[in-house]
Amino acid sequence: MSTVQIEKISIPELTQYLSNKKWILDGDEVQHSEPLTQGNMNLCLRVTTQQQKLVIKQGRAWVEKYPHIPAPLGRTTTEALFYKTISVTPGLAAAMPRFIGVDHRLQVMATEFIGDSVDGNFIYAEENGSDFFKEWSTDLFHFLQNLSAISTVDFKSEFDNNELKKLNSFHMYDYPFQKEQIYKATQDLNLNLTWLLTDENLQLRKQLSKDYLAPGSYLIHGDFYPGSFLVQKTEKNKKIYVFDPEFCTLGRREFDVGVFLAHVLLGSAPLIETLNEFKEKDYLAQLDFESVKNIAAYEMLRRILGVAQVLHGASNEKKKSLILMAKELLC
């Protein structure tokens, strides 16, 4: 595996690299390259050439946003396979940025840049998770429906993504709930969180982790939350795109739905109304909704108490109310 860091090469070298990979047309030249803030795991660059804009991603041996955390190599290859797999399904391909190519040696991938768009992380600060759900849930559940229809018989081993799943499982079901983390959060928030240390809670987290790590029957996105959505609104177009499927794997369909539910609630959507709206979706009729709720609860908790938090600037009262909402999901 090469140690080349794509953001450190010069503009002429980048032009030559992209030209050699056939990711830009002969004679096209890079004019500008700048880091993007999208995603926690990988380096992301927006590259502007004379004729187009593209996103270049590189997966390295660490988490880009948290360099002290090691990350498994090879995840870019798996993500590229996801793009290639969905490319034969028009409804899925049209809902994602166009895949351009992958360099397995450098773990670099290129996709089109979606202009005039913002990622969905705005729902936390704007507290409009309910509006977001009402506007985009039909499109997003249609995406999941199409994804679950893909036959996985021929590529079970290619999508195991086991090392990345272990990292995600640790941060979802283990790290935020270690005793020292819970005691610290109890003091910081002035909220009794010792219920998270009960044997009952521990056994449920172990079961959810086991379910997540086990081979599944359906291709799932694996990180189906607003940071993986791009909302594009122009005079001519109003559309939501799904991207960043680096956590893709063969798993249970409940996982993507549970993660999505968690973030709608983290965006201040009301609990009972939101649960009822989820249940009304045809796609949910096929799923175990209790599992969806349990997955959502721990996703909420880890995004409040764990490493990859999303409620930046939120008050302690807001965090406490959402923690208690997650607790209700587990009842």
265-300 pLDDT per residue, tens:
999 999 999 999 999 999 999 899 999 999 999 999
pLDDT of residue 222: 97
In a domain, 1, yes or no: no
In a domain, 242, yes or no: yes
Q: Residue 66 is part of which domain span?
A: 7-112
In a domain, 266, yes or no: yes
Mean pLDDT of the chain: 94
202 and 304 belong to one structural domain: yes
In total, how many domains does the chain have? 2
- Reported confidence tier of residue 243, pLDDT bands at 50, 70, 90: very high
CA distances from 293 to 201, 208, 274 (A): 14, 11, 11
67 and 167 belong to one structural domain: no
Q: Which of 5, 6, 13, 7 is nearest to 29 (CA)?
A: 13
Q: How many other CB atoms are there within 10 angstroms of residue 142's CB atom?
A: 16
Residues in the chain: 331
100 and 213 belong to one structural domain: no
Q: Which two tokens stand for residue 189?
A: 């928030």
Q: Which of 68, 95, 112 is the last residue of a domain?
A: 112
3-class DSSP state for residue 188?
A: helix
CA end-to-end distance (rounded Å), the chain: 47
| pTM of the full structure | 0.96
Which residues does 324 contact at the CB level (< 8 Å), separation at least 6? none
12 and 87 belong to one structural domain: yes
* CATH number of the structural domain spanning residue 95: 3.30.200.20
102 and 124 belong to one structural domain: no
Q: Which two tokens stand for residue 99?
A: 């895949």
pLDDT of residue 152: 82
pLDDT of residue 156: 66
In a domain, 75, yes or no: yes
181 and 263 belong to one structural domain: yes
pLDDT of residue 1: 40
80 and 132 belong to one structural domain: no
pLDDT of residue 161: 84
Q: In what order do the strands lie in the sheet with 238-242?
A: 117-119, 229-233, 238-242
- Reported confidence tier of residue 39, pLDDT bands at 50, 70, 90: low
Which residues does 171 contact at the CB level (< 8 Å), separation at least 6? 302, 306, 307, 308
Q: Which of 59, 94, 112 is the last residue of a domain?
A: 112
- Rounded to an integer, what distance in angstroms lies between the CA atom of residue 313 and that of residue 71? 27
In a domain, 2, yes or no: no
In a domain, 280, yes or no: yes
121 and 270 belong to one structural domain: yes
215 and 306 belong to one structural domain: yes
Q: Which two tokens stand for residue 91?
A: 């409804």
Q: Which of 4, 2, 3, 26 is nearest to 15 (CA)?
A: 26
pLDDT of residue 236: 82
Q: State the DSSP code for 46.
A: E
163 and 68 belong to one structural domain: no
- Rounded to an integer, what distance in angstroms lies between the CA atom of residue 224 and that of residue 136? 13
305 and 178 belong to one structural domain: yes
Q: How many other CB atoms are there within 10 angstroms of residue 289's CB atom?
A: 16
pLDDT of residue 123: 97
Q: Which of 88, 112, 136 is the last residue of a domain?
A: 112
- Reported confidence tier of residue 50, pLDDT bands at 50, 70, 90: very high
* CATH number of the structural domain spanning residue 181: 3.90.1200.10
Flag whether pLDDT at 190 surpasses 90.
Answer: yes
Residues of the chain with pLDDT > 70: what percent? 98
